[in-house]
Amino acid sequence: MLGVAEQSGYRLTDFPEEASVIVVNTCGFIEEAKKESIETIVELASWKQNGGCKKLIVTGCLSQRYPQELSAQMPEVDHFLGSSDMLRLKDVLQDRADRMLVGNPADWLISSADPRALTQSRVSAYIKIAEGCDRKCSFCAIPQFRGVQRSRDPQDILREAEHLISLGAVELNLISQDTLRYGHNLPSQKRIPLSKLVEQIANLTGVQWVRLFYLYPQKLEEELLELLAGHPHVVPYVDMPLQHAADPMLKRMKRGCGKDRQKRIVEQLRLAVPRLTFRTAFIVGHPGETQEEFEELYEFVQWARFEYAAVFRYSDEESCPSYQLESKVKPLVTANRQRRLVALQERIAREKNQAYLDQELDILVEGPSEEHKWVYQGRHAGQAPEIDGRVFLSGEAFIPGEIVRVQISQATTYDLVGETLYPPSSPVHTAKEKKKTKRRFLPLLPHKPTSPLNH
């Protein structure tokens, strides 16, 4: 959408009071996200009276799921766009569109020909390699409004990757609803394994890091494991939402994967990829979850010691099979279970971060810190953009997109502070350059990771 806006002569501003057009991209996946989206719409609508806003546009999953309800209850919104109708923003900006533009997302697939622009850190970008999902998880509504999985042509993905690199991106994050199933629905003449696609992207000139998100819990092909373990531009990072660990709960959730299989997958990954960072996600309070089953999940997290784990409270969605299940868990019980599991994961994350003290890490510089003056921020390979922690650097200016060698001097639960060991302008770090430069650092505030982009 930002690419469409730029093509139409608009520029992005961080301040709603300056905007002539405000676009709210919503999430309608779970109840908490719906509430946050609605609150944001109401808050930003005030700038139509108090600022220079001429158009308020709502797009995304909330518009897709509840178009008529939103239209009736929010007269202050000028246009609603569905999750597959973002390109029609051009018609809206040119006053050539109806108020309601909500199509069928099952017919839509992004293309490299669509305009793209980088937001926030211009060194990192996401590439959606497929759309939709074929899984039947009982708690998830995504297949209902995204449709079945449709994989993109690998050549089209490579063209988009090259374009993003030309815009300045050096980190490419591959996403979909079910990344390991990439390509299964492509014609045989176009179908390639995920490992081959990842390797081709990682070999493009200008790429520093390629990262994988949203892997369903299943055994990874040997070639993909080898890339994660040894390719210089494929980061040893896996995002694999497991959702639970007790077999009865996994069966109710219709995950198609039991606890023993999940343990084997974790062990396989840890063994094959020694420097692996493992991010996952769990749901607590799903209908039927007993205290014993929660304790089994708690013990599983103790055993696995994930680097990152998001913990969500179950959201009762009327359109999902889980809604029909009996034995609903009381909200207070669900909240207590979430607090316990989050506390455990924070303790594990803090211990793992403490292990980085005095270690040397390669840090991808993102730019000036959003939290501290005179400080730059970046990430090591085990930190994904937006959802994981950061590494703070201070001193002379760094160039966004460069990778610098850093010695870690401070650690909190999720964030690190480092001292640069080599001149940041050096493209190659040699032993002669290994000369430490002591710098002063600001104290850190605890930082919690945000919710992942998908469940």
Mark the binding-site residues for [4Fe-4S] cluster, compressed into ranges: 133, 137, 140
CA distance 71 to 100: 8
Say if CB 346 and CB 420 are below 8 A apart: no
Orientation angle between helical segments 222-230 and 259-272, nearest 10 degrees = 50
Other C-beta atoms within 10 Å of 359: how many? Answer: 12
CA distance 349 to 97: 49
Say if CB 326 and CB 375 are below 8 A apart: no
CA 257 from centroid of its chain's CA atoms: 23
Orientation angle between helical segments 259-272 and 291-304, nearest 10 degrees = 10
């870690």: which residue's tokens? 408
Q: Are strands 416-420 and 391-394 parallel, antiparallel or unpaired?
A: parallel
Q: How many CA atoms lie within 13 A of 256 on its CB side?
A: 9
Say if CB 288 and CB 4 are below 8 A apart: no
DSSP three-state, residue 387: coil
CA distance 151 to 163: 19
State the amino acid at position 342 in one-letter form: V
Which residues participate in the annotated binding site? 133, 137, 140
Other C-beta atoms within 10 Å of 451: how many? Answer: 16
Q: Is 243 left (phi over 0), alpha (psi -120 to 50) or beta?
A: left
Say if CB 124 and CB 366 are below 8 A apart: yes
Orientation angle between helical segments 194-202 and 222-230, nearest 10 degrees = 20
Strand partners for 125: 172
